[in-house]
């Protein structure tokens, strides 16, 4: 299992008329968390894409416990719970001042850019992640 944490501050434009973070913005927050989690492991989306490997989202689930508002500093913990195969799963917990405000999950698929077909996780990516799993 590999866990990484980032902090994001809610911008005014990300809130709705009620003053809460608009629910759709969490997908963007989790994309930032996911990219930074992979970067911390030594993997960048840019390098994968340059090698013809795409990572589209296959599934996204979220459960909201309480809202966040403008200028809140959100702590997002991202966990890769299992070694990837043709898919990689990320689980997220968002906290505000130590209180859990949502949990989420995304499944992404490794896809060959040219064929558009799923493919196995590149071996070098698997090796970088394996050191975090016992």
Name the residues annotated as catalytic.
16
- 25: phi then psi, degrees, rounded to nearest 5: -70, -20
User: Would strands 73-80 and 2-9 be described as parallel, antiparallel, or unpaired?
Assistant: antiparallel
Q: Which residue has the tokens 């990219």?
A: 35
The alpha-helical segments, DSSP class H, found in the chain are 25-41, 45-50, 123-130
- The three state secondary structure string of 42-106 is CCCHHHHHHCCEECCEEEEEEEECCCCECCCEEEEEEEECCCCCCEEEEEEEEEECCEEEEEEEE
């Amino acid at each position: 299992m590999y866990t990484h944490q980032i902090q994001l501050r809610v911008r005014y434009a990300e809130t709705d008329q009620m003053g809460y973070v608009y629910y759709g913005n969490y997908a963007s927050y989790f994309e930032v968390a996911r990219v930074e989690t992979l970067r911390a492991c030594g993997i960048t989306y840019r390098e994968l894409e340059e090698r013809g490997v795409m990572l589209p989202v296959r599934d996204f689930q979220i459960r909201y416990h309480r809202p966040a508002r403008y200028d809140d500093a959100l702590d997002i913990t991202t966990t890769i719970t299992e070694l990837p195969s043709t898919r990689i799963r990320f689980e997220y917990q968002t906290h505000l001042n130590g209180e859990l405000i949502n949990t989420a999950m995304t499944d992404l698929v490794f896809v060959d850019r040219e064929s558009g077909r799923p493919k196995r996780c590149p071996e070098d990516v698997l090796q970088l992640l394996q050191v975090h799993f016992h």
